[in-house]
């Protein structure tokens, strides 16, 4: 068996010697990857903000529609039923579904990286 340091790739060797290899192809790929990660982070932040803000706005619109268009009076029973049903759907539609889409996109990227390696 040969020594521990004899079989070192060029990439590992550059890190061992505290040198950075300038490879324009890898640098360009990293910039694109960082841009995609940044975009993904922005979309996650928007989704999370929507999770907290949109629920109250949608309830307001629903109650306004109920009163103005349907012409019915707003009772505590109607408000309670509407809020209970909406809160049940809110978690699934505004938090879990977008996270599932994000995880699926990240899975595709990971699979492509594994295939390339």
Residue 1: per-residue pLDDT? 45
pLDDT tens-digit map of 65-80: 999 998 889 899 989 9
pLDDT tens-digit map of 93-102: 766 777 788 8
76 is written with which tokens?
């505590």
Q: Nearest Cα to 60, choosing from 84, 89, 28, 83?
A: 83
pLDDT tens-digit map of 5-19: 555 555 555 555 555
pLDDT tens-digit map of 23-50: 777 778 888 888 888 888 888 888 778 7
For the chain, domain boundaries: 32-116
The verdict on pTM exceeding 0.85 is no
Give the chain's radius of gyration (CA, Å): 26
Handedness of CA 86, 91, 96, 101 (dihedral sign): positive
């Amino acid at each position: 068996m040969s020594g521990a340091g004899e079989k070192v790739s060029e990439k590992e060797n550059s890190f061992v010697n505290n040198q950075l290899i300038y490879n324009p192809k890898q640098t360009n790929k990293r910039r694109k990857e960082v841009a995609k990660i940044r975009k993904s982070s922005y979309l996650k932040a928007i989704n999370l903000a929507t999770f907290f803000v949109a629920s109250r706005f949608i309830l307001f619109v629903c109650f306004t529609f109920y009163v103005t268009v349907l012409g019915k009076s707003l009772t505590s029973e109607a408000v309670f039923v509407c809020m209970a049903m909406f809160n049940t759907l809110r978690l699934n539609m505004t938090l879990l579904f977008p996270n599932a889409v994000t995880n699926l996109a990240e899975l595709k990227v990971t699979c492509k990286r594994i295939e390339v390696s």
